[in-house]
């Protein structure tokens, strides 16, 4: 992507979220706010952050595109660290089934759920998947997302898994948002492997994972570690092999029952463990001690009418918590950052400050990228959002509505709500 020079000046608040690693426990409340602040970005990289009077003395405004942020709050771009953004088809009917009382596992067992999306994704062309993903990314950008993780997992075979990852590479090349790729080939058990889950893991380890790793098609390997899907032992085998091949690992853990996914994440030194609705106290403690980020997905719990993950407990006991949308076609069809903020603050007992940390520096840490994104620190990417209000407190306060007015990516203005347009910038 092109890289630009921008000077954002006179902001009522510059919320830096300063740091180069995840924030744990009480650290999550420290946003490091500069009042009447400015941010200087040169060649796509943050060069200075500070009081406006100090910045204006040092820099010549003629050298930059100047954005007057008077009366507005400025924050790092949001990092959505868990999505399934490339998929074919939709499952609107299943949403209605859940409304009448059918649960997620029941729908999966009769051929719906993930397997329904697998069928549709296999049938979709790369062009169809590409244009659908680009539209979703446009929507994410309007909510202030500048980096997003995308998972495969709607193929459960070689060809379709590769097709999804290649589409993610293409959208990453052609959309302002950076897309971090995760291989989730073990997302569900294909019908032909029902009762033969070990054989399916063998297939993934021997026939698919080496191609993904050798081709550098994904940064992470993930697995759905859950009862009636993949056991802790099966998950361990796949993820250890991924690590041997040079990939980083994360996992869907302890979402539906307490299976031991959190403990496995700690054992393997995973970058993150996600969902964690049923995670044990001991598992969370082990994650904390090993520095594993707890990525919580309240939109999924909301959509499935489940109890929420214990965010307050985790933070009070020293865990690093990230938030993400879990955008997917079945259990959580939303890319709405404001919705996740509302759920986290109103129902998960997170403070506004903790939720912002969870979507910035901790979201970056959940992708092992906290050294380059997630905060407004000198030397990091010039990924910035400007709110239409003077304080970060408006983010959850304006319930369910985006407060993002402008988005800057790599020092280039790529979204401006005032002009009601996306400014197309290819990489």
- Which of helix, strand or coil describes residue 260? coil
Nearest C-alpha neighbor of 274 from the set 345, 233, 218, 332: 332
Q: What is the pLDDT of residues 205-252, one digit of tens each?
A: 999 999 999 999 999 999 999 999 999 999 999 999 999 999 999 999
Which tokens sit at 269? 């030194």
Question: How many angstroms separate the CA atoms of 121 and 163, rounded?
Answer: 9
Task: Please tell me the predicted confidence (pLDDT) of residue 97.
Answer: 83
Instruction: Tell me: is residue 306 an annotated ligand-binding position.
Output: no
CB neighbours of 195 closer than 8 A, spacing ≥ 6?
none
In this prediction, residues 37-49 reach a mean pLDDT of 98
pLDDT per position as a tens digit, 360-404 = 999 999 999 999 999 999 999 999 999 999 999 999 999 999 999
Which pLDDT does position 302 carry in this prediction? Answer: 96
**How far apart are alpha carbons 115 and 301 in whole angstroms?**
20
Q: Is the separation of the CB atoms in 81 and 321 below 8 Å?
A: no
- Tell me what pLDDT residue 148 has: 99
pLDDT at 168 over 80: yes
d(CA 203, CA 44): 42
The token pair that represents 78 in the structure block: 């949001």
pLDDT confidence of residue 45: 98
- Averaged over 45-51, what is the pLDDT? 98
Place of tokens 């407990």: 313
pLDDT digits (tens, 9 = 90+) for 99-108: 888 877 777 7
Q: Which two tokens stand for residue 114?
A: 């993930």
Residues pairing with 67 in the sheet: 8
pLDDT confidence of residue 96:
86
341: left (phi over 0), alpha (psi -120 to 50) or beta: alpha
Q: Name the residue with higher pLDDT: 424 or 335.
A: 335
Contact 19, 377 (CB under 8 A): yes
326 annotated to a ligand binding site: yes
Helix 158-174 crosses helix 114-123 at what angle (to 10 degrees)? 70
Q: Residue 274 in contact with residue 223, Cβ under 8 Å?
A: no
**Residue 148: closest CA among 326, 273, 413, 312:** 326
Tens digit of each residue's pLDDT (9 = 90 or more) over 50-101: 999 999 999 999 999 999 999 999 999 999 999 999 999 999 888 888 888 8
Confirm or deny that 71 is annotated as ligand binding: no
Query: pLDDT tens for residues 289-333?
Result: 999 999 999 999 999 889 999 999 999 999 999 999 999 999 999
Average of per-residue pLDDT across 15-43? 98
| pLDDT computed for residue 111 by the predictor | 65
Residue 426 has pLDDT above 60, yes or no: no
Q: Is 328 annotated as a binding residue?
A: yes
Domains located in the chain, CATH noted: 6-76+372-422 (2.30.40.10), 79-365 (3.20.20.140)
**Model pLDDT, residue 93:** 84
Beta carbons of 294 and 366 less than 8 angstroms apart: no
Q: Going by DSSP bridges, is the β-strand pair 404-409/248-253 parallel, antiparallel, or unpaired?
A: unpaired
Q: What is the CA radius of gyration of the chain?
A: 21
The DSSP bridge partners found for residue 15 are: 33
Which stretches within 245-291 are classed as H helix?
Answer: 261-268, 281-290
Residues 6+ apart with CB under 8 A from 253: 225, 259, 261, 262, 264, 265, 273, 274, 275, 276, 279
Dist. CA 130–CA 169, nearest whole Å? 10
Confidence of residue 112 (pLDDT cuts 50, 70, 90): confident
3-state secondary structure of 247: coil
Q: Is 42 annotated as a binding residue?
A: no
pTM for this prediction: 0.96
- What span, in angstroms and rounded, lies between the C-alpha atoms of 164 and 87? 8
Best CA proximity match to 178, nearest among 80, 324, 40, 248: 80
SS3 call for 85: coil
CB atoms within 10 A of CB 207: 12
- From 284, 321, 323, 269, select the one nearest 300 (Cα to Cα): 323
Sheet hosting strand 78-80, strand order edge to edge: 78-80, 145-151, 178-186, 220-225, 248-253, 272-275, 293-296, 321-323
pLDDT of residue 113: 83
Provide the terminal-to-terminal Cα distance of the chain, rounded to the nearest Å.
3
> pLDDT of 117-167, one tens digit each?
999 999 999 999 999 999 999 999 999 999 999 999 999 999 999 999 999
Q: Which run of H or of E encompasses 298?
A: helix 298-304
- The pLDDT value recorded for residue 420 is 62
- Pair of tokens at residue 230: 């993949």
User: Was 21 annotated as part of a binding site?
Assistant: no
Q: Find out whether 403 and 338 touch, Cβ atoms under 8 Å.
A: yes
Please indicate if the annotation marks 255 as binding a ligand.
yes
Q: What is the mean pLDDT of residues 254-271?
A: 98
Instruction: Specify the pLDDT at position 422.
Output: 58
**Residue 35, marked binder:** no
3-state helix, strand, coil in the chain (%, to 5): 40, 25, 40
- pLDDT for 105 equals 72
What are phi and psi for residue 357, nearest 5 degrees? -55, -40
Determine the pLDDT at residue 424.
58
- 252 marked as part of a ligand binding site: yes
Side-chain half-sphere CA neighbours of 346 within 13 A? 14
Q: Confidence band (pLDDT; 50, 70, 90) for 425? A: low
Q: What is the pLDDT of residue 115?
A: 87
State whether residue 325 is helix, strand or coil: coil
């Amino acid at each position: 992507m092109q890289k630009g020079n921008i000077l954002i000046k006179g902001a009522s608040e510059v919320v830096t979220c300063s740091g180069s690693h995840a924030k744990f426990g009480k650290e999550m409340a420290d946003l490091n706010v500069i009042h009447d602040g400015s941010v200087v970005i040169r060649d796509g990289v943050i060069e200075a952050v500070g009081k406006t009077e100090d910045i204006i003395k040092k820099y010549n405004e003629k050298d930059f595109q100047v954005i007057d942020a008077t009366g507005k709050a400025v924050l790092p771009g949001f990092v959505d660290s868990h999505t399934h953004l490339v998929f074919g088809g939709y499952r609107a009917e299943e949403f209605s089934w859940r409304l009448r009382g059918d649960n997620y596992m029941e729908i999966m067992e009769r051929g719906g759920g993930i397997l329904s999306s697998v069928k549709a994704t296999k049938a979709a062309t790369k062009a169809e998947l590409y244009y659908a993903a680009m539209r979703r990314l446009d929507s994410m950008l309007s909510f202030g997302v500048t980096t997003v993780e995308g998972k495969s997992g709607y193929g459960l075979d070689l060809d379709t898994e590769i097709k999804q990852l290649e589409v993610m590479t293409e959208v990453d090349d052609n959309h302002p948002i950076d897309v971090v790729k995760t291989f989730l080939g073990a997302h569900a058990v294909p019908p032909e492997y029902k009762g033969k889950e070990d054989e399916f893991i063998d297939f993934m380890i021997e026939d698919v994972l080496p191609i993904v790793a050798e081709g550098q098609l994904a940064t992470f390997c993930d697995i759905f570690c859950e009862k009636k899907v993949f056991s802790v032992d099966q998950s361990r085998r796949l993820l250890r092999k991924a690590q041997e091949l040079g990939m980083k690992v994360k996992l869907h853990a302890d979402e539906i029952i307490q299976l031991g996914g959190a403990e496995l994440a700690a054992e393997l030194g995973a970058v993150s463990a996600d969902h964690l609705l049923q995670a044990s106290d001991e598992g969370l403690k082990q994650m904390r001690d090993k520095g594993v980020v707890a990525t919580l997905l309240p939109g999924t719990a909301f959509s499935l009418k489940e109890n929420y993950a214990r965010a307050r407990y985790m933070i009070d006991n020293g865990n690093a918590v990230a938030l993400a949308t879990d955008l997917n076609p079945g259990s959580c069809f939303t890319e709405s950052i404001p919705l996740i903020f509302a759920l986290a603050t109103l129902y998960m007992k997170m403070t506004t400050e903790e939720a912002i940390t969870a979507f910035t520096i901790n979201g970056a840490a959940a992708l092992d990228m906290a050294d380059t994104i997630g905060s407004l620190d000198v030397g990091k990417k010039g990924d910035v959002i400007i709110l239409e209000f003077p304080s970060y407190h408006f983010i959850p306060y304006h319930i369910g509505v985006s407060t993002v007015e402008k988005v800057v990516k790599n020092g280039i203005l790529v979204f401006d709500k005032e002009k009601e347009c996306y400014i197309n910038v290819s990489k």
